[in-house]
């Protein structure tokens, strides 16, 4: 049986199908560490740099008042006049700007997901929490498409690492090799499941992009079983309409050169890591 380290570099064995991790990405899917790394905590109390009173939703204590009595005589009566001053040591704490808070949160969550992609040993609860933060961050998607699909054909390829159910209530590492290719130049998408010597199954079609939403329509299926030659089955007719949200789609929340996070039409969330697939028939 292939060792874990070898499997990280070549994810299925037949010469006709192979998934090769680029040199720049060996830090992700390279050799497994001798001891599992300790994932950084991502609980909200560790990530949110808020002052105590905002975090606990309690009002700050009233600053002490210093009274300085002065006697003033008016119409024969002695009047006690008070003057309040704020003690400097009780000045409210400085608040971290919201943008800086969000960036620090996202950076920490990116580290968690990259560690999960590399080791597959980060607890599911921590991955789910990181995905939740990424969804709520609402980052600028202007560069997402080019990062996802490259600037020229055949585009870029991503391996599915983790999938979560609607509401991020539970999730698991994806147990088999599933790879998606996005070609931003040709607006093409390919989704494949690879089962080593047993063969593979891929779907290919076209996609449209609007802001952060990638809608797609599959047009053909390609199947390969064992040593036999692959065969294709077209479907969907000659409908050339542009894919829309009436079709399957992804809403992308984060994409960099190494990982990507998106939610599907069904409500489930997933994240991928960048890889390279070399295919020959």
User: For residue 130, is it within any domain?
Assistant: no
Least confident of 25-29, 135-139, 180-184: 25-29
Helices 124-137 and 98-119: crossing angle in degrees, nearest 10, is 140
Domain that holds residue 244: 10-35+141-279
Q: What global pTM score does this model have?
A: 0.64
The pLDDT tens digits of the residues spanning 89-119 come to: 444 444 545 566 688 999 999 999 999 999 9
Kind and range of the H or E run holding 13: none
User: For residue 196, is it within any domain?
Assistant: yes
User: For residue 93, is it within any domain?
Assistant: no
In whole angstroms, give the CA distance from residue 253 to residue 270: 10
Q: Pick the residue with more confidence: 255 or 23? A: 255
User: For residue 72, is it within any domain?
Assistant: no
Residue 212: give its domain's CATH number.
2.40.128.280
DSSP class of 207 = E
User: For residue 167, is it within any domain?
Assistant: yes
The pLDDT tens digits of the residues spanning 84-94 come to: 333 444 444 44
Count: domains in the chain: 1
User: For residue 84, is it within any domain?
Assistant: no
User: For residue 120, is it within any domain?
Assistant: no
List b or e across 69-91, with b for residues whose CB sees 16 or more CB atoms inside 10 angstroms.
eeeeeeeeeeeeeeeeeeeeeee
User: For residue 112, is it within any domain?
Assistant: no
Residue 97: per-residue pLDDT: 59
């Amino acid at each position: 049986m292939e060792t874990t380290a070898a499997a990280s570099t070549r994810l299925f064995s037949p010469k006709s199908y192979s998934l090769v991790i680029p040199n720049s990405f060996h830090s992700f899917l390279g050799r497994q560490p001798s001891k599992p790394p300790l994932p950084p905590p991502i609980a909200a109390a560790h990530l949110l740099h808020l002052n105590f009173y905002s975090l606990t939703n309690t009002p700050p204590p009233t600053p002490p008042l210093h009274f300085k009595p002065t006697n003033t005589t008016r119409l024969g009566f002695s009047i006690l006049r008070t003057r309040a001053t704020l003690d400097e040591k009780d000045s409210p704490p400085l608040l971290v700007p919201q943008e800086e808070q969000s960036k620090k949160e996202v950076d920490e969550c990116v580290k968690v997901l990259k560690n999960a992609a590399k080791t597959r040993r980060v607890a599911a609860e921590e991955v789910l929490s990181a995905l939740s933060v990424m969804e709520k961050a609402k980052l600028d998607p202007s560069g997402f498409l080019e990062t996802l699909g490259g600037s020229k054909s055949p585009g870029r390829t991503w391996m599915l690492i983790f999938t979560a159910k609607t509401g991020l209530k539970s999730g698991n590492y994806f147990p088999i090799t599933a790879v998606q290719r996005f070609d931003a130049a040709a607006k093409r998408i390919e989704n494949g499941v690879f089962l080593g010597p047993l063969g593979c199954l891929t779907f290919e079609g076209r996609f449209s992009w609007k802001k952060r939403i990638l809608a797609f329509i599959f047009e053909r299926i390609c199947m390969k079983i064992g040593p036999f030659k692959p065969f294709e089955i077209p479907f969907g007719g000659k409908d050339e309409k542009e894919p829309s949200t009436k079709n399957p789609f992804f809403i992308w929340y984060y994409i960099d050169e190494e990982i990507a996070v998106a939610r599907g039409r069904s409500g489930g969330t997933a994240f991928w890591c960048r890889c390279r697939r070399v295919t020959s028939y």
